[in-house]
Amino acid sequence: MKAIIEESPLKAAGFIVTIYGDVVEPRGGVVWTGNLIETCADVGISETLVRTAVSRLVAAGQLSGEREGRRSFYRLAAPARTEFAAAARMLYGPPEVADWHFVQLTGSAPDEAMQVLERAGHARLGPRLAVGARSMPSLTQPAVFFRAEVVSGDADLGAFAADHWNLAQHADAYRGFIGRFGRLADLFAGGARLGAAESLAARLVLVHQFRLVVLRDPRLPQAALPADWPGEEARRLFSTLYLRLSPEADQHVARHFVTADGALPEASEATLRRLSLLRDAI
């Protein structure tokens, strides 16, 4: 795991977001700061960086804090919960159904809104026009939204996608993920075992790096993708490793993670549903 982290160094704020999304949010959304510090220390992130990152996440409106005695606890703010739910569906849920659409920006700051669309996987067709195949992001700028349907030319969807998306960079990101975490899968195949704390750290790094790849992927339907597209292989690897690491990782959560009301549960309805969906993906 150390080699994987060295290849793709972790940033404190982003990794804390991963901890909330994978561990805390499906178990109620609040946790003791000490748990964040201990978990980040296991992947080489210092307490100073954690405290700075938490302060910035609070200032950005993603976390809200509360005190109980001498301990501080942080929970997800309401807007962040909506974002986390959408990200969780991409990571753990079944494949999305294609929803082709066009977006015509009508506001006074189209460049800013276009950047939001492009980060959400849309392709720019003009200064104010974009096309996408998945969910529509929230925009602060006014826009006109057109739903689209492929009525003919399915065989040419690949050429259309190649003209408007740089799919090679996303394919490279998936192959990089497969290369890094394929080594971990090989270790398990050879009989290697990890302790509970190590399993949680490994699962969090797995989720963190897969999330970075998936959230940048335009997530086009299969018919629009190249024949050698590595996204499905990467998802199967993610699902396999997540399921392999989860028993020990969830035991560590139950033994060590706390809220003001007591320990976080080992499992919840949300975590069990995630595991079920990932089993279906293999």
273: helix, strand or coil: helix
d(CA 230, CA 207): 17
d(CA 116, CA 34): 34
Closest by Cα among 107, 23, 20 to 58: 20
Average pLDDT on 44-73 reads: 94
Q: Flag whether the pTM goes above 0.75.
A: yes
| Mean pLDDT computed over every residue of the chain | 92
> Looking at residue 135, what is its pLDDT?
77
242, 282 in Cβ contact below 8 A? no
Q: Using one digit for the tens of pLDDT, what is the confidence trace for 64-92?
A: 999 888 899 999 888 888 878 888 888 99
Predicted local confidence at residue 79, as pLDDT: 80
Q: What pLDDT is attached to residue 98?
A: 82
Token code pair at residue 242: 């997540």
> CA–CA distance from 275 to each of 137, 178, 200, 245 (Å)?
27, 20, 15, 11
Query: Identity (one letter) of the amino acid at 76?
Result: L
pLDDT tens-digit profile of 157-188?
Answer: 999 999 999 999 999 999 999 999 999 999 89
Average pLDDT for residues 139-144, to the nearest whole number? 88
pLDDT in tens, 227-260: 999 999 999 999 999 999 999 999 999 999 999 8
Read off the pLDDT of residues 81-132 as tens digits, 9 standing for 90 and up.
887 888 888 899 887 888 899 999 998 888 989 998 998 899 999 999 999 9
Query: Is the distance from CB of 16 to CB of 53 less than 8 angstroms?
Result: yes
More confident: 214 or 1: 214
Can you give the pLDDT at residue 1?
66
Give the DSSP H/E element, type plus range, for residue 103.
strand 101-105
CA distance 175 to 2: 19
CB 157 within 8 A of CB 224: yes
- Indicate if the pLDDT at residue 4 is higher than 80: no
**pLDDT at residue 155 tops 90:** no
What pLDDT shows up at residue 150? 86
Position 76 scores a pLDDT of: 87
